[in-house]
A and B are shown apart, each in its own frame.
Chain A
Amino acid sequence: MIRVLPYFLYLLLIAMHEVIWKDIAGLYFMALNITAMIVVMVATYKTETAAAWFGFLAGLVLAATQPTTMGWHAILLAAMGVGVYHIRERLNLESIYSKLLLIVGAVLAHNIVSLFINGTDRFFYMLWVYCLPSAAYTSAAAWVFFLFKERIITAQKLKSVF
């Protein structure tokens, strides 16, 4: 049960983002794709099965308010989890930048496929104004997260600056 708790908290985080944080964190057309980012994180640090199941559940949570697209989002994120896991297994992901590259690619792929799932008639326009900027924006957020996670920035260092 305790092993499952973190995943449940990640799902809660996704739900919170969808309800509260999404509108606040949005900049112009850019949106923070927390869901894809968390799935990549899980796939980077956990097992293949965990990544697949978490991707599946994250897809369900993400599309809970649009029941007709739930299955597509679930299988998309599950596949993304498995894919990221295999990339991690085959590549050296010690550097923050390689992880960020993975996140940019995953978020971009997720945004593009989501466009098709949700249906859009202006694909290239949306690709330019939404998919690419959102991927950059999300990777910037992930970069800040990694800076703290890898202890490149710590609370003590921040205090010493001020």
Chain B
Amino acid sequence: MSQITSLFPKDWRNLNFTLIVFFSILLIIDVPAVNQFTSQAIIKTLYFPFFQFKSLMVKMGTIAYENELLRQKLVEAKTRIALLDEAARENERMRSILGFEPPAGYSLLPTRVVSVVYGGNQPVAAVINKGAHDSVSIDQAVVNQQGLVGRIKEVMNSTSMVQLLTDPANRVAARIADTREMGIVKYRTGIGLMLDNFPVQGTIQEGDLIVSSGLGGVYVAGLLIGNVQGVIRQPDEPFCEVELRPAATFSSVEEVFVLKSDIE
């Protein structure tokens, strides 16, 4: 009996090896049903969770890539919308300009403001995209559909510098549109646009329109400058202080016209 039990482990070992060799040979001779079944069983039990995990990772990677792509497209679309909005606003401005007529004997040269020069917190000059090549010359009046903007101060070949009404050095001979009484329009830093040299006994009231008088030869007569915002009369002073509300909005000036005489 003891001999039998001592032999058993050896037999057990041989049985194991025989089984392994048998199964291996069975798989080596490639019986399709056996091989396919074994392969499928292993793939379904051991490989499947990792295949799932891998496909999930690939899917997540694809989603991340798509997300990045969509973000990029969103930025592009937003930029395009911003450009279209800007084009719509420009279109609106252009429509309002369409009905704008120049004074008799003058024609309008449409130009675009390419940069603005600031003095303090107020724009004092602007550079426009037309110059000597477009027959722009010094002292020509510059207007937009709202009213007088300024005059040409410097001319280069393809650009010009416009001295705006908000430049304290600029002066415009003006008059009240209704009463025809005259004064000089200038800009005072910290106060705003003023009508100077207007006598205290003159007839003026809030809301009166102020236009260029044409005296001095720089500005054509009748160009709208603004309207009266307030009148201060000092008892001992010969002139009153007249504050004006400018017709043109200088902080947002974009498209302007150079007034060219047809005679030149």
Contact = CB atoms under 8 A, between A and B. Distances in A.
Q: Do A and B come from one complex?
A: yes
Interface of A: 11-12, 14-16, 18-20, 48-49, 52-53, 56, 60-61, 64-65, 67-68, 70-72, 74-75, 78, 82
B95 interface: no
B46 A15 contact: yes
A49 B20 CA distance: 10
A68 B21 contact: no
Nearest to A50: B16
Interface stretch (B36-44, B134-142, B152-160): B36-44
B54 to A, nearest CB: 6
Which secondary structure dominates chain B's binding surface? helix
B35 A56 contact: no
Interface of B: 12-13, 16-17, 20-21, 23-30, 35-36, 38-39, 42-43, 46-47, 50-51, 53-54
Contacts of B53: 19-20
A72 B13 CA distance: 21
The 4 lowest CB-CB distance pairs between A and B, nearest first, are: A71-B27, A71-B28, A75-B24, A19-B50
B20 A67 contact: no
A61 B13 contact: no
B42 A60 contact: yes
Contacts of A64: 38-39, 42-43, 46-47
Contact of B54 (A12, A19, A48, A72): A19
A48 B21 contact: no
B14 to A, nearest CB: 10
A14 to B, nearest CB: 8
Contacts of A68: 30, 35
B26 to A, nearest CB: 7
Contacts of B36: 67
Given A20-B53, A67-B36, A72-B28, A53 B20 contact: yes
Q: Which of A16, A18, A71 has the most CB of B within 10 A?
A: A71
Nearest to A82: B17
Contacts of A72: 24, 28
Contacts of A60: 27, 38, 42
Contacts of A82: 17
A122 B42 CA distance: 31
A71 B54 contact: no
A61 to B, nearest CB: 6
Contacts of B50: 15-16, 18-20
B46 A12 contact: yes
A19 B27 contact: no
A74 B43 contact: no
Contacts of A16: 50
Q: Which of B16, B27, B29 has the most CB of A within 10 A?
A: B27
A68 B29 CA distance: 9
Contact of A19 (B13, B21, B28, B47): B47
A53 B22 CA distance: 12
A61 B46 contact: yes
A49 B39 contact: no
